[in-house]
Amino acid sequence: MSLTQLNIHQFRNIHSARLQFDAGLNLICGENGSGKTSVLEAIYFLGMGRSFRSHLSQRVIQFDANELTLFAELNQPEGNMKLGLRRYRSGDIDVRLQGEKLKRLSELAETLPIQVITPESFSLLFEGPKARRQFIDWGAFHSDHQFHGVWGNVRRILKQRNQLLKQQASQDTLKVWDAELVRYTEAVTEIRSHYVDSLNAVLTGIIDKFLPQVEVKISFTQGWDKKTPYATVLYSQYQRDLAAGHTSSGAHKADLRLRVGNLPVQDALSRGQLKLLVCALRIAQGKLLKQQIDKSSVYLVDDLPSELDSKHRQLLLSQLLETEAQVFVTAIEPTAITDSLHSPPAQMFHMEQGNVTVKDATSL
């Protein structure tokens, strides 16, 4: 799967642009503020319905416009597809695939699986469990079609249960909700656990290349003591949950634990090694997706030269190209990327004040 064409209108500092992409490596160069990251953000927005740079989607709409429009043509195994998105300043969104309006934004993610590697993506290892849960759930969502529904049910029941706890509901009142919560939580946990096991099988070889002589152990923590049935946990923690006004244990507390020996990777590895570990995690996810459902991810790699030295830039780029996925990389100077490649990028663009021009990569 690859993007063959992208039309951008009134997105960030790009008033209007039409880009033709290659299925391989697409290099986007330009000074800071030129709009190169906005191209990656537009691709992400088209695949997720939101930005990876801001939680406020209205901020990506040009200040004097009421809406933004993104339109893409995708090359899929089953044939070419057209995908369009319009986001209004009011917050409304209109998404269409092959002219048909999509009811759920999750259908975007199914159509266009995206992996992002940016300077900010390294927070995966430094922030709380939420970012790592989202990492697991990206893979669980794509590998098991039941995941989206059962995880949605867990969140819905948790919301209701927490409201009842705030109202000081009795344990008998919670019984019906708890029975449903246990059923869906166990289903979510099984899918997540299976996914992490599958990811580990792919990840080991990749980590060996990125971090030789470092043994990283990755394990899934389900959000409560795995030796205790979840129904027992809910029953025994009732008084604690009642006092807190929320459910203290469950699938919403799951995490991905990464350790070197007995130490968390944050304490055992240097900052540079942690960056490489995140790259390995993202590449492993893409490779596993290809193995499981024969679908390729689209990789968005922003400001790669500032994060890695020449040796590791070359390693990352070679590993990305090995996935045979479509890759978009930004850099201020093209030579920072081309010097790490054995052959020129398939397509190269130059951004300046929101305007894009195609460059001849073979001339570098």
Burial of 108 per CB tally in 10 Å (0-12, 13-18, 19+): buried
Binding residues for ATP: 30-37
Token code pair at residue 269: 């590895």
| Angle between helical axes of 171-210 and 147-166 (0-180°, round to 10) | 130
Compute the residue count for the chain: 364
Query: Which DSSP state fits 61?
Result: B
The number of beta carbons lying within 10 Å of the beta carbon of residue 188 is: 26
Q: Which two tokens stand for residue 160?
A: 């209701």
The rounded distance, in Å, linking the Cα atoms of 86 and 69 is 4
Strand runs (DSSP E) across 12-92, as ranges? 14-20, 25-29, 67-76, 79-88
Give which of 338, 212, 218, 211 is closest to 285, Cα–Cα: 218
Tracing tokens 């995966």 back to the chain, one arrives at 124
Reference 284, options 205, 185, 176, 187; nearest CA is 205
Angle at 234 between CA 253 and CA 198, to 5 degrees: 40
Measure Cα distances from 34 to 41, 67, 68, 354 in Å.
13, 21, 18, 6
What is the distance between the alpha carbons of residues 175 and 231, in angstroms, rounded to a whole number?
Answer: 10
Across the beta sheet with 114-117, the strand order is 114-117, 298-301, 326-331, 25-29, 347-352, 355-359
**Beta partners for 82?**
73
Which amino acid appears at position 311 of this protein?
Answer: K
Q: Which residues are annotated as a binding site?
A: 30-37
Residue 246, SS3? coil
